[in-house]
């Protein structure tokens, strides 16, 4: 029972203190940019950080948010924030209050999920949202060329937030580090 | 007379709009519309069928794995791959745990708030609440001290003004009728349900790998190795941990969810007389340990398949015939080559043609096309799908598990079986099904452990992986699944190793269906008629009936008066 491999087999994604959560729907073109960016940010994995594809789970995201030290959300944001491709950071209080967060159903669900963690006494201490203004949200798999070219900028902005939170080590994580998939190592 | 539009009805992903006409204090006409199209069918055309499930699991924000499952089943059916027992057990285990999780969360987050007023809980006496809670359940967290602390937490939360999930509730509405103590108990259990949720989702992580979107399905089986003694597979420790989580989940369902449901049911008896709707129910059947057949749903499983027509609960259900399904677009924003046709899914066409008003608009043209959902019909008839359909078909079939489960609940509430055909009946049936699934999931994990212990480590049939191994010509496949919200089917036509046609007929398309070419309404539309509306400005009653279906999309409702004036637009997250 004390073999570390045994413990690894029961690791769950709720373990890391920091969660990066990509949300959006990849079936709707640029709506999926947060998910695409999360995937890029999570490869290779960052110690102490879980990177999850939150899709459009809305309120069902609550258990993934609960008990974290910090949560960084990656998402497409409203055109009120600028021109397509613009990358913006929405700070903690605004995210929790739903200010500046896009008024689509999955974002409403996210705000509710955050409120539910507060009610349950397990709210993340820090929250931020890094977003990019989409060019076209329509039934299509994959990003528009403009947004595709902005994913790296979104990932860089996300890394800056993580660095502020002192999460990212100065040294880059070695690419050959084994990818740890919860549930079956 | 007034018309009511509800927008959005649920707190979950998607966009559903309901327009109702109110006359004499009740709903006289209702129209359900989906204002968003996902286009999965066109996205999949031309792709490798073995990848279809990865795309399909994005159809719904909440039920990711159910679409993955229906999709791999459809492709397996087409190419002749037979998933081995371990794969079928793993899939069913993932599906049952998703269903239990989903039902519990939706009850406490969504449906319960239609019956429970958290603001009324502030007036409760924690000592009396504890006595009441102890009288209906053995749940250990029923002490006066706990209820007092929950009450304090609620007070602080409500006073903070950031009330998230409780925003837009019709608190203080006269249709709320629970005692302050029962409101406090239910609110306390809402908090406990959050803890339940955190615990229970770990089953998915342990079995499905990458959460929340599973990565472990493969056409032919599962990609997750299983070996009790291996460190690089689902092993004895994994299964032990899964068992413990499922056991705790079952205790929560039995000690918390069902007693709450019974207390709420007893307080609102008239809601067994509203919201009946179609009275016709369809169940494909699912959760079978037998190998799959060809082009038909799983047989002899936990849920028997069958059709109930026009509220007839005295006869055994008709057997379900897959060839009976066809979809009309008479009132949908799609174009068929033959506009009046009802097409079976393998011949389905998905050509969008939006003819609705430019948003934002006040009212839909319900005489013409008014939704992005097609109108699926079974042998020409509209059908309701979901937990109440499964419980009624199981009950009237005389199923050895379902019949006594349903009878016990009916006896406890002093109700006849017909009472299940109602708004409250849907809520109760969902709870009963949750218990059934929670119990069954433990049987599944035991069966899996036994099978693996006996030396069967197979998780996939790889004989039909290469397209060169597939039969020649056009291949037709269908994957049936009983998902949390009801009967789900994915239909695929494969030609030259690529998808030529793909159609997903999802539970909410059945229930939120528009009228068909003959003008017959779908399940939501039918169930809303007759629902009382005491105050059109605060149409709580309409939400009760809509939420009883557990809509998987957020929804908007608009009330109109006789002159078509928009009285109110309600947005409920």
Using alpha carbons, list the distances in angstroms from residue A179 to A45, A182, A184: 7, 10, 11
Contacts 24+ apart (CB under 8 A), B87-92: B87/B220, B87/B221, B87/B222, B87/B458, B87/B459, B87/B460, B88/B289, B88/B291, B89/B289, B89/B444, B89/B447, B89/B448, B89/B451, B90/B207, B90/B222, B90/B224, B90/B226, B90/B234, B90/B448, B90/B459, B91/B217, B91/B222, B92/B287, B92/B444
Q: ∠ CA B355-B545-B13 to the nearest 5 degrees?
A: 55
- Determine contact, residues B56/B66, Cβ cutoff 8 Å: no
Q: Does B149 touch chain A (CB under 8 A)?
A: no
- The C-alpha of A166 sits at a distance from chain B's nearest C-alpha, in angstroms, of 26
Helix, strand counts (H, E) of chain B = 17, 15
Which of the two residues, B47 and B340, has the higher pLDDT score?
B47
pLDDT band of residue A27 (cuts 50, 70, 90) is confident
Query: B61 and A6: CB-CB below 8 Å?
Result: no
Q: Does B232 touch chain A (CB under 8 A)?
A: yes
What is the spatial distance between Cα B109 and Cα A96, in angstroms, rounded to a whole number? 18
- The C-alpha of B277 sits at a distance from chain A's nearest C-alpha, in angstroms, of 27
pLDDT of residue A2: 32
B266-285 average pLDDT score: 97
- The C-alpha of A119 sits at a distance from chain B's nearest C-alpha, in angstroms, of 7
pLDDT band of residue A171 (cuts 50, 70, 90) is very low
pLDDT of residue B10: 34
B552 is in an annotated binding site: yes
Size of interface A-B (CB pairs under 8 A): 167
Residue B237 has pLDDT above 80, yes or no: yes
In sequence order, which residues have a C-beta less than 8 Å from that of residue B541 and are 6 or more positions away? B175, B274, B531, B532, B533, B534
pLDDT of residue A185: 28
pLDDT band of residue B106 (cuts 50, 70, 90) is confident
B442-467 average pLDDT score: 96
Q: Does B311 touch chain A (CB under 8 A)?
A: no
Quote the number of domains for chain A. Answer: 1
pLDDT band of residue A70 (cuts 50, 70, 90) is very high
pLDDT of residue A137: 82
**Structure token digits, residue A64:** 């993934």
Residue A178 has pLDDT above 50, yes or no: no
Residues B78-94: b if buried by 16+ CB within 10 A, e if exposed: bbbbebbbbbbbbbbbb
pLDDT of residue B209: 64
pLDDT of residue B113: 86
Query: B209 and A8: CB-CB below 8 Å?
Result: no
What is the spatial distance between Cα B34 and Cα B16, in angstroms, rounded to a whole number? 5
B137-154 average pLDDT score: 96
Radius of gyration of chain B (CA): 23
pLDDT band of residue A83 (cuts 50, 70, 90) is very high
- Determine contact, residues B203/B64, Cβ cutoff 8 Å: no
What is the rounded (10 degree) CA torsion for B276, B281, B285, B287?
Answer: -10
Using alpha carbons, list the distances in angstroms from residue B340 to B221, B256, B327, B399, B517: 40, 50, 10, 39, 7
Of B15, B43, B194, the CB nearest to A105: B15
pLDDT band of residue A5 (cuts 50, 70, 90) is very low
CATH number at residue A158: 3.40.50.1450
- Determine contact, residues B23/B2, Cβ cutoff 8 Å: yes
Q: Does A116 touch chain B (CB under 8 A)?
A: yes
Query: B12 and A105: CB-CB below 8 Å?
Result: yes
- The C-alpha of A55 sits at a distance from chain B's nearest C-alpha, in angstroms, of 6
Class at the top of the CATH hierarchy for domain B2-322+381-572: mainly alpha
Taking contacts as CB-CB distances below 8 angstroms, the residues of chain A near B209 are 181-184
Q: How high does pLDDT run on average in chain B?
A: 90
Residue A4 lies in a domain: no
What is the spatial distance between Cα B131 and Cα B192, in angstroms, rounded to a whole number? 18
Three-state secondary-structure class, residue B307: strand
- Residue B31 CA, chain-centre distance (Å), reads 20
Query: A182 and B197: CB-CB below 8 Å?
Result: no
Per-position DSSP letters for B356-388, written without gaps between them: SPPSS-S---TTS--BSS-EEEETTB--B-SHH
Q: In B16-61, which ranges are continuous DSSP H helix?
A: 40-44, 52-56
Which residues of chain A from 9 to 68 reach within 8 Å of chain B, CB to CB? 9-10, 12-14, 25-28, 52-60, 62-64, 66-67
Residue B279 has pLDDT above 90, yes or no: yes
pLDDT of residue A12: 44
B275-291 average pLDDT score: 97
B63 is in an annotated binding site: yes
Using alpha carbons, list the distances in angstroms from residue B484 to B205, B209, B391, B393: 19, 21, 13, 16
Residue B33 has pLDDT above 70, yes or no: yes
Residue B573 has pLDDT above 60, yes or no: no
Asked which of B304-313, B402-411, B556-565 is least confident by mean pLDDT, the reply is B556-565
Please tell me which residue of chain A has the smallest CA distance to B63.
A57
Query: A185 and B232: CB-CB below 8 Å?
Result: yes
pLDDT band of residue B564 (cuts 50, 70, 90) is very low
Query: B38 and A28: CB-CB below 8 Å?
Result: yes
Taking contacts as CB-CB distances below 8 angstroms, the residues of chain B near A97 are 162
pLDDT of residue A184: 31
Residue A177 has pLDDT above 60, yes or no: no
Query: A106 and B553: CB-CB below 8 Å?
Result: no
Which residues of chain B from 54 to 73 reach within 8 Å of chain A, CB to CB? 55, 58-59, 61-62, 64
pLDDT of residue B2: 55
Q: What are the domain boundaries of chain B?
A: 2-322+381-572
Query: A27 and B38: CB-CB below 8 Å?
Result: yes
pLDDT of residue B563: 45
pLDDT of residue A101: 59
- Per-residue DSSP letter, A179: P
What is the spatial distance between Cα B566 and Cα B501, in angstroms, rounded to a whole number? 41
B481 is in an annotated binding site: no
Taking contacts as CB-CB distances below 8 angstroms, the residues of chain B near A62 are 194, 197
Burial (Cβ within 10 Å: 0-12, 13-18, ≥19) of residue B171: middle
pLDDT of residue B36: 72
Query: B197 and A63: CB-CB below 8 Å?
Result: yes
Strand ranges inside chain A, DSSP E: 18-23, 49-55, 70-76, 87-90, 126-132
- Cβ neighbours, 10 Å, residue B161: 8
Q: Taking the model in full, what pTM does it have?
A: 0.90
In sequence order, which residues have a C-beta less than 8 Å from that of residue B382 and are 6 or more positions away? B278, B280, B375, B510, B513, B516, B520, B521, B522, B523, B526
What is the spatial distance between Cα B210 and Cα B214, in angstroms, rounded to a whole number? 5
Asked which of A31-40, B240-249, B363-372, B487-496 is least confident by mean pLDDT, the reply is B363-372
- The C-alpha of B471 sits at a distance from chain A's nearest C-alpha, in angstroms, of 29
Which percentage of chain B shows pLDDT scores above 70?
91
Please tell me which residue of chain A has the smallest CA distance to B571.
A105
What is the spatial distance between Cα B341 and Cα B223, in angstroms, rounded to a whole number? 41
- Determine contact, residues B49/B479, Cβ cutoff 8 Å: no
Q: ∠ CA B544-B547-B553 to the nearest 5 degrees?
A: 145
Residue B493 has pLDDT above 50, yes or no: yes
Per-position DSSP letters for B191-226, written without gaps between them: HHHHHHHHHHTHHHHHHHSSSSS---EETTEESS-B
Asked which of A168-182, B16-30, B142-156 is least confident by mean pLDDT, the reply is A168-182
Q: Does A106 touch chain B (CB under 8 A)?
A: yes
**Structure token digits, residue B498:** 């690529």
Please tell me which residue of chain B has the smallest CA distance to A111.
B164
Residue A130 has pLDDT above 60, yes or no: yes
Residue B270 has pLDDT above 70, yes or no: yes
Taking contacts as CB-CB distances below 8 angstroms, the residues of chain B near A13 are 205, 211
Residue A3 lies in a domain: no
Q: Does A79 touch chain B (CB under 8 A)?
A: no
pLDDT of residue A173: 44
Please tell me which residue of chain A has the smallest CA distance to B197.
A63
B285-295 average pLDDT score: 95
- Looking at the predicted complex, does its ipTM rise above 0.90? no
Q: Does A5 touch chain B (CB under 8 A)?
A: yes
B492-501 average pLDDT score: 97
| B11-24 residue pLDDT tens | 333 467 888 998 88
Query: B207 and A183: CB-CB below 8 Å?
Result: yes
pLDDT of residue B213: 74
Burial (Cβ within 10 Å: 0-12, 13-18, ≥19) of residue B223: middle
- The C-alpha of A50 sits at a distance from chain B's nearest C-alpha, in angstroms, of 11
Residue B341 has pLDDT above 50, yes or no: yes
**Structure token digits, residue B401:** 């598990």
Residue B539 has pLDDT above 70, yes or no: yes
pLDDT of residue A14: 47
B60 is in an annotated binding site: yes
- Determine contact, residues B124/B184, Cβ cutoff 8 Å: yes
What is the spatial distance between Cα B189 and Cα B358, in angstroms, rounded to a whole number? 44
pLDDT band of residue B51 (cuts 50, 70, 90) is very high
Residue B446 has pLDDT above 70, yes or no: yes
Taking contacts as CB-CB distances below 8 angstroms, the residues of chain B near A183 are 205-209, 211, 224, 234, 238
Among A42, A130, A51, A37, which residue's Cα sits nearest to residue A92?
Answer: A130
Which of the two residues, A176 and A185, has the higher pLDDT score?
A176
Using alpha carbons, list the distances in angstroms from residue B528 to A67, B133, B278, B539: 40, 33, 10, 12
Of A9, A26, A183, the CB nearest to B58: A26
Residue A53 has pLDDT above 70, yes or no: yes
Burial (Cβ within 10 Å: 0-12, 13-18, ≥19) of residue B441: buried
Which of the two residues, B316 and B38, has the higher pLDDT score?
B316
HSE, side-chain direction, 13 A CA sphere, residue B298:
24
What is the spatial distance between Cα A19 and Cα A127, in angstroms, rounded to a whole number? 10
Residue A174 has pLDDT above 60, yes or no: no
What is the spatial distance between Cα B490 and Cα B49, in angstroms, rounded to a whole number? 12
pLDDT band of residue A78 (cuts 50, 70, 90) is confident
B211-236 average pLDDT score: 89
Query: Residue A159 belongs to what domain range?
Result: 11-164
**Structure token digits, residue B241:** 């941990």
Of B58, B164, B234, the CB nearest to A115: B164
pLDDT of residue B470: 97
pLDDT band of residue B65 (cuts 50, 70, 90) is confident
Burial (Cβ within 10 Å: 0-12, 13-18, ≥19) of residue B46: exposed
Asked which of A150-159, B238-247, B492-501, B536-545 is least confident by mean pLDDT, the reply is B536-545
pLDDT of residue B13: 36
Q: How high does pLDDT run on average in chain A?
A: 78
- Determine contact, residues B256/B249, Cβ cutoff 8 Å: no
B555 is in an annotated binding site: yes
What is the spatial distance between Cα B447 and Cα B173, in angstroms, rounded to a whole number? 49
Using alpha carbons, list the distances in angstroms from residue B323 to A133, B94, B379: 46, 29, 8
What is the spatial distance between Cα B540 and Cα A5, in angstroms, rounded to a whole number? 53
Three-state secondary-structure class, residue B119: helix
Residue A171 lies in a domain: no
Asked which of B85-99, B266-280, B351-365 is least confident by mean pLDDT, the reply is B351-365
């Amino acid at each position: 029972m004390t073999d570390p491999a045994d413990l690894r087999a029961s690791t769950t994604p709720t373990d890391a203190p920091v969660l990066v959560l990509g949300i959006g729907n990849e079936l709707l073109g640029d709506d999926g940019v947060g998910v695409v960016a999360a995937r890029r940010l999570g490869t290779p994995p960052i110690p102490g950080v879980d990177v999850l594809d939150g899709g459009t789970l809305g309120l069902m995201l609550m258990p993934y948010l609960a008990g974290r030290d910090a949560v960084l959300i990656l998402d497409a944001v409203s055109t009120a924030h600028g021109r397509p491709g613009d990358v913006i950071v929405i700070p903690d209080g605004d995210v929790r209050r739903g200010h500046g967060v896009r008024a689509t159903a999955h974002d409403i669900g996210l705000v509710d999920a955050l409120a539910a963690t507060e009610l349950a006494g397990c709210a993340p201490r820090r929250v931020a949202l890094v977003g990019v203004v989409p060019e076209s949200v329509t039934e299509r798999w994959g990003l528009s060329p403009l947004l595709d070219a902005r994913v790296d900028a979104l990932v860089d902005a996300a890394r800056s937030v993580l660095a502020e939170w002192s999460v990212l080590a100065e040294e880059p994580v070695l690419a050959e580090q084994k990818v740890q998939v919860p549930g079956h190592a | 007379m007034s018309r009511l539009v509800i927008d959005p009805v649920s707190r979950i992903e998607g966009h559903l709009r309901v327009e109702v006409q109110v006359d004499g204090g009740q709903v006289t006409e209702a129209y359900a519309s989906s204002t968003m199209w996902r286009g999965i069918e066109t996205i999949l055309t031309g792709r490798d069928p073995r990848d279809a499930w990865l795309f399909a699991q994005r159809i719904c924000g909440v039920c990711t794995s159910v679409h993955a499952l229906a999709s791999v089943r459809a492709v397996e059916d087409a190419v002749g791959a037979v998933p081995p027992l371990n794969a079928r057990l793993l899939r069913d285990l993932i599906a049952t745990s998703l269903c239990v999780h989903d039902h519990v969360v939706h009850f406490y987050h969504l449906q319960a708030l239609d019956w429970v007023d958290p603001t009324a809980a502030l007036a409760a006496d924690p000592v009396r609440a504890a006595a009441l809670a102890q009288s209906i359940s053995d749940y250990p967290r029923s002490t006066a001290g706990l209820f007092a602390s929950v009450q304090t937490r609620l007070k602080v939360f409500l006073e903070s003004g950031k009330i998230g999930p409780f925003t837009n509730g019709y608190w203080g509405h006269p249709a709320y009728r629970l005692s302050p103590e029962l409101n406090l108990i239910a609110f306390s259990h809402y908090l406990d349900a959050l803890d339940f949720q955190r615990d229970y989702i770990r089953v998915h992580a342990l079995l499905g790998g990458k959460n929340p979107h599973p990565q472990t399905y493969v056409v032919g089986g599962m990609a997750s190795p299983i070996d009790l003694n291996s460190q690089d597979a689902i092993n004895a420790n994994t299964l032990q941990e899964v068992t413990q989580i499922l056991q705790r989940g079952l205790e929560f369902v039995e000690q918390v969810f069902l007693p709450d449901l019974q207390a709420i049911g007893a307080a609102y008896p008239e809601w067994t007389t509203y919201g009946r709707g179609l009275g016709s129910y369809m169940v494909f059947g699912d959760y079978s340990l037998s190998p799959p057949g060809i082009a038909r749903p799983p047989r002899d499983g936990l849920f028997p398949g069958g059709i109930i027509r026009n509220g007839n609960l005295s006869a055994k259900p008709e057997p379900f015939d897959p060839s009976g399904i066809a979809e009309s677009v008479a009132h949908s924003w799609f174009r068929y080559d033959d506009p009046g046709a009802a097409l079976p899914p393998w011949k389905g066409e998905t050509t969008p043609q939006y003819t609705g008003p430019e948003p934002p608009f006040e009212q839909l043209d319900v005489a013409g096309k008014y939704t992005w959902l097609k109108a699926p019909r079974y042998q020409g008839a509209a059908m309701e799908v979901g937990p109440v359909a499964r419980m009624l078909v199981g009950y009237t079939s005389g199923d050895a598990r379902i019949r006594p489960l349903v009878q016990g609940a009916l006896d406890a509430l002093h109700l006849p079986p017909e009472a299940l055909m109602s708004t409250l009946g849907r809520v109760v049936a969902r709870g009963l099904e949750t218990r059934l699934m929670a119990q069954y999931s433990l049987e599944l994990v035991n069966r899996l452990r036994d099978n693996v212990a006996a030396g069967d480590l197979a998780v996939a049939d790889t004989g039909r992986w290469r397209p060169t191994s597939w039969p020649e010509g056009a291949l037709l496949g269908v994957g049936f699944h009983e998902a949390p919200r009801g009967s789900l089917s994915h239909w695929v036509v494969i030609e030259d190793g690529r998808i030529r046609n793909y159609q997903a007929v999802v539970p909410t398309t059945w229930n939120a269906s528009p009228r068909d070419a003959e003008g017959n309404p779908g399940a939501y539309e039918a169930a809303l008629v007759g629902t009382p509306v005491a105050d059109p400005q605060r149409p709580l009653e309409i939400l009760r009936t809509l939420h009883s279906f557990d809509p998987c999309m957020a929804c908007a409702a608009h009330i109109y008066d006789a002159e078509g004036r928009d009285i109110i637009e309600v947005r409920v997250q």
